[in-house]
Amino acid sequence: MDFQLPILAPSILAADFTQLGSDIKDCVDGGVTWIHCDIMDGHFVPNISYGPSIVKAAKKSAPEAFMDVHLMIEDPDKFVDDYVQAGADLISVHYEACPHLHRSIQNIKKHGIMAGVVVNPATSLFNIEPILEYVDLVLIMSVNPGFGGQSFIESSYEKLQELADLRDAGGHGFLIEIDGGVSLKNIEKVAEAGADVLVAGSSVFKADDITARVNELMGKLES
């Protein structure tokens, strides 16, 4: 699947769920083609977000948008079918939550969608080197997962560059995604460090004018 890079992927975790359809439409009006869905279970991370019904509602609001589903949950294999049925185009699972990671990635791919692996800030990229040839995307967490609105962890720049080097050295084709603390202040630097897909939550949905903010962020990426 070909994508126009870099990609801005607004995280609906920061949206107003009472007007989710409207918030998503504002993003799409600004040119957004990816929607990021953060799924939290209150066990793997210390918060509960939402489930397949919200992903389904997001897909209904923007049927042409690419649904990027990030499972921050224990035992994600049990729930892959639910999110595929809800409209996921990509499902990413955490290295830290999958003791049989190859099997988990295969479980996602057998549904004919893209599969990604996620690493927490304290997890070394060394741990995921054996899976890199099998995944479509690697997501680097630039905050500790569980809550929106956190500050970007500065060491993430070096991690992005390290991952880009690993991709080049191995001749891999996966996309590099980053999630956490991306804002107007740092989005250009994050992209320059190697991110192909940039997740932004609060910086998009807490703006007074969502479409205008999307235009600002995408303008910085294009520059």
Active centre residues (catalytic): 38, 179
3-class secondary structure per residue, 5-18: CCEEEEEHHHCCHH
8 Å CB contact between 23 and 201: no
Pairwise CA distance, residues 219 & 222, whole Å:
5
User: Among 183, 201, 173, which Cα is nearest to 68's?
Assistant: 201
3-state secondary structure of 56: helix
Which residues, 6 or more positions from 110, have their beta carbon under 8 angstroms from its beta carbon?
none
Which residues, 6 or more positions from 52, have their beta carbon under 8 angstroms from its beta carbon?
79, 82, 83, 85, 86
